[in-house]
Structure 1
């Protein structure tokens, strides 16, 4: 297992260097760490009215509520909050929710890098500092463990669907087929083939900047930075032996009784 030690933010990607721009600090909203922009719309977010034909994609770590309200149905909306902080109307209306889960080691690494190049997120400090905060849930949108346990508790509800990132990396076609069935879409073999090609990591990394050419002026990063590696097991390039041992003790303790089991390498 290799280790990169305590690399500082700014070592990855354009716009990451400390001091290039002022990074915001998270604030507390109903016990959840959020960014200032989210706090300004917090009451609107809590009272957001979901429509029965809405589909939500729930991932661990942002919405402009007014723009979403004005979208025509059916809407597809991303949410990052734990179930304790989502608008009540989502569950009351039994909206379809697609929950995407990924192993916590790779999540920690990906989230750290996201902090280094995004001007919307706070300075993460060193990798060791960020990992410590991640493990105790002292990061934006709170504990990863609380997030996955909350959504997993709803797994028997027919309107909740789970996708595991590692399973998609193993067999994207099969997982895309499962998702299509959940959404009530009967796709032809040719349509499914085209969908899988468009959903591949390399295709998204290549094409997303062209579809959203001005994203960098707002966020401070390009999609090529956001869609960084997409590898299962990249955590090995960041975790020290000691850090990995701590996580290996923490994960089963935190997920005890959930039946959740994650893949950490392919």
Structure 2
């Protein structure tokens, strides 16, 4: 058992699991030298990160599917703030742009991003679905504490005191930088509802146009049925200590609106009040309804 499994790192006031983060790895991400050709995917956890890693890998592999079948998503698109990053970065495919991933906040990563012109894809998801997915993830991840109850988990999420901090601050921070960065905002919901159109939008933003056949290959290999069966994406390669699949699946449902099966009317009312207080005047056009 990794001795850091139950440790916590606090970085810029936000809690990170010490299992894959150290003060050094977090600091290194903030001083990383981006190249103009880099592509960075940023998400709050459980917002469709794995799905978008798959889509972006597929856009650039141009039908050569060896990486999709042989390299786990974290090796294709490593997390900048994790301890494994320094060893994974040199192994990235040199015939593609460097594809990178992060859960960090805008204020800690923006200074490094401003020094060059990488493209940023920011993916967000209805926070109620994020919360439910994160709750279930806490139950299978050995490096995260088991939630005492769903109600307590909702409180922690609304207060932003849990691991990875505040969803509200994360979304507002990144979307507040749309004028300063070359940033495309994509939602889980639009990828779910209009996958082909969303893939076209991404490929256009990335300057990497696709033909209809290439789109078909991408759609097939980023479907929930393909990804849930692929051990390059479904995290089944990790030991039971890290992710215990006997307690639940990493790729659980891949649906929109599953929160309705978990929220009581009272919890929903409480959540909506906090959402309105925190997001009501943000001026952001977010494509989900809270009811």
TM-score category (smaller protein)? 0.7 to 0.9
1:264, CA displacement in angstroms? 4.5
Cα offsets for 1:155-200 (capped at 9, x unmatched): 2356101111111111101001100101111211111111112111
What secondary structure does 1:50 align onto? coil
- List structure 1 segments (4+ residues) > 3 angstroms apart after TM superposition: 208-213
What secondary structure does 1:249 align onto? helix
Name which of 143, 165, 169 aligns with 1:146.
169
RMSD: 2.6
Distance 1:170 1:200 in 2: 12
> 1:155/1:208 Cα in 2 relative to 1: closer, same or farther (>3 Å)?
farther
Distance 1:60 1:158 in 2: 18
Aligned partners of 1:48 and 1:87 also within 8 Å: no
Give the TM-score of the pair, scaled to structure 1.
Answer: 0.83
1:23, CA displacement in angstroms? 5.8
Aligned to 2:37: 53
Name which of 277, 282, 286 aligns with 1:257.
282
Aligned partners of 1:26 and 1:122 also within 8 Å: no
Cα offsets for 1:117-138 (capped at 9, x unmatched): 0112222221111110000001
1:65, CA displacement in angstroms? 2.8
Correspondence 1:9-158 to 2 at 5 A: 24-36=6-18, 37-40=20-23, 41-61=25-45, 62=79, 63=82, 64-72=84-92, 73=94, 74-86=97-109, 88-157=111-180
What secondary structure does 1:107 align onto? helix
Give the TM-score of the pair, scaled to structure 2.
Answer: 0.76
- Greater CA drift, 224-233 or 164-173: 224-233
1:212, CA displacement in angstroms? 6.2
- Greater CA drift, 130-139 or 86-95: 86-95
Distance 1:85 1:115 in 2: 25
Distance 2:234 2:153 in 1: 32
Aligned to 1:191: 214
Q: Which runs of 5+ in 1 are unaligned?
A: 1-20
> 1:120/1:211 Cα in 2 relative to 1: closer, same or farther (>3 Å)?
closer
1:48, CA displacement in angstroms? 2.1
Aligned to 1:14: none
What secondary structure does 1:184 align onto? coil
What secondary structure does 1:141 align onto? coil
What secondary structure does 2:252 align onto? coil
The alignment covers a number of residue pairs equal to 246
